[in-house]
Amino acid sequence: MRIVNPFKAMRYQASELNSYIDINPQVHIFDDGGGIPRKYFIGFDPKTNKFLPLEIGVNWGKTDRIRIEIETIYNLKHLAVPDNPKDLSTAKALFGEGSGRLRSFQEWTIQYPQEGLNISKLKSNPGNGVIESKGDLALVVSHVASENPQGFKGSFIAIDTNVAISQSGGGGVTFGLGTGPVSVSTDVGGSSPEARSINYELLVYLSVIGRPNVVAAPRPLEVPEDLLTHNVYFESENQKDLSPDELRRLEDKWHDPLFRQSSKLYNAIKSGKCQVWLSGYASTTGKEANNKNLSKDRITSVEEALKTDLFKSKNVKFVRLPQGDKGSTQKGAVARERRVEIEIKKHEAIMAMALP
């Protein structure tokens, strides 16, 4: 790409003295550790004054190195006309010329994890690529490299290159080459607040060819641990039917959260694939036989509430364990002993959730 008269954006009007800068970028792709690279040229659209994006295929597991080379040929002749044409001393100070050729490059290595690409900088010649230079105007090349390996969700990466060209009022010209949002330029021959820059962007997208199909490991079934058990309480010593308040608490604290947090387990219970264990208890105030029957009645009450009022399904399966006052930890009329414990066995829940 040729930039004709690169100084015309300056404050002082430059005379037409056949100044130009040729910027010729190439991308080299190396497979299997070296050898002759594949070469691609980055085109330029003069209508939009932009470099065209370049998309290159890299072979999965084989392409291991990428290199961007930019050759620059320049011929600079600059005579600026000052605001006051009579001030010839100023005009003389702004005169300069120079020509030369330089080459710069940046390399990256590529690795292939399970998803996407990993790309990391390998080496570059940020400012030592001068092949030829004559005159008192010159170009200096510098690199600031960055990369985006996670672009396009791992199927692509993008390397952005900013090319900056500026000219200082004291006769110096800088040329900055970078791969990232910031480019570093070095002034040669003077500096001035009148310096201007022209920015160009080189875009290279790398698409992966031959990526193997990776089957993602199935996520472990998530069981809501805090909802595998729930206690239903009975207010009085001989009460065998579930109260409306306790039914509402059963719905709010266990049934509805189970539906919200694990619809798969909820549906497994509703369809009978996962059974519900009901253990009934009574306090020690009554006789042992009466307490056993009371715990059976309490289990029946909770079972009916679950089938009819909450899950609304006759398919729900139960394991009934009437305990009476067996296992009571406190003697007498203790409220916590008057209960039915609802339990879902974790291993049964996992197996049921895995069924189609």
Does residue 196 sit within a domain? yes
My answer on whether 253 and 186 are in the same domain is no
The total of other beta-carbon atoms located within 10 Å of residue 320's CB is 16
Q: Minimum mean pLDDT among 40-44, 194-198, 299-303: which range?
A: 194-198
Look up the pTM and report it: 0.48
The model's pLDDT over 205-241, given as tens digits with 9 standing for 90+, comes to 777 788 777 555 556 667 888 999 999 999 999 999 9
Domain containing 98 equals 2-209
My answer on whether 200 and 229 are in the same domain is no
My answer on whether 296 and 330 are in the same domain is yes
My answer on whether 282 and 189 are in the same domain is no
Does residue 48 sit within a domain? yes
Among 209, 242, 268, identify where a domain stops: 209
The model's pLDDT over 62-120, given as tens digits with 9 standing for 90+, comes to 888 888 888 878 777 766 555 555 554 544 444 567 788 878 788 888 888 766 677 88
With a CB cutoff of 8 Å and minimum separation 6, the contacts of 2 are 20, 21, 22
Among 156, 177, 209, identify where a domain stops: 209
The total of other beta-carbon atoms located within 10 Å of residue 19's CB is 25
Q: What's the total number of domains in the chain? A: 2
Does residue 215 sit within a domain? no
My answer on whether 156 and 245 are in the same domain is no
My answer on whether 168 and 281 are in the same domain is no
My answer on whether 196 and 237 are in the same domain is no
The model's pLDDT over 109-128, given as tens digits with 9 standing for 90+, comes to 888 876 667 788 776 765 55
**pLDDT confidence tier of residue 7, bands split at 50, 70 and 90:** low
Contact present, 229 and 277 (Cβ < 8 Å) = no
Contact present, 270 and 255 (Cβ < 8 Å) = no
Among 175, 209, 243, identify where a domain stops: 209
My answer on whether 182 and 73 are in the same domain is yes
My answer on whether 88 and 116 are in the same domain is yes
Does residue 220 sit within a domain? no
More confident residue, 317 or 150: 317
pLDDT at position 173 over 80: no
Per-residue three-class SS string for 224-271? CHHHCEEEEECCCCCCCCCCHHHHHHHHHHHHHHHHHHCHHHHHHHHH
Sign (positive or negative) of CA dihedral 334, 326, 230, 319? negative
Q: In this predicted structure, what is the pLDDT of residue 143?
A: 53
Query: Measured between alpha carbons, how far is residue 99 from residues 19, 25, 80 in Å?
Result: 9, 19, 18
With a CB cutoff of 8 Å and minimum separation 6, the contacts of 213 are none
Where residue 234 sits, what CATH number does that domain have?
A: 3.30.1330.60
Does residue 219 sit within a domain? no
Q: In this predicted structure, what is the pLDDT of residue 239?
A: 93
Does residue 145 sit within a domain? yes
Query: Measured between alpha carbons, how far is residue 318 from residues 36, 76, 213 in Å?
Result: 73, 91, 44
Q: In this predicted structure, what is the pLDDT of residue 327?
A: 76
Cα(254)–Cα(262) distance, integer angstroms:
12
My answer on whether 246 and 199 are in the same domain is no
Does residue 103 sit within a domain? yes
Does residue 341 sit within a domain? yes
My answer on whether 191 and 308 are in the same domain is no
**pLDDT confidence tier of residue 25, bands split at 50, 70 and 90:** confident
Q: In this predicted structure, what is the pLDDT of residue 190?
A: 34
Single-letter amino acid, residue 33: G
User: Residue 189 corresponds to which tokens in the numbers above?
Assistant: 């021959």
More confident residue, 39 or 32: 39
Q: In this predicted structure, what is the pLDDT of residue 148?
A: 57
My answer on whether 237 and 197 are in the same domain is no
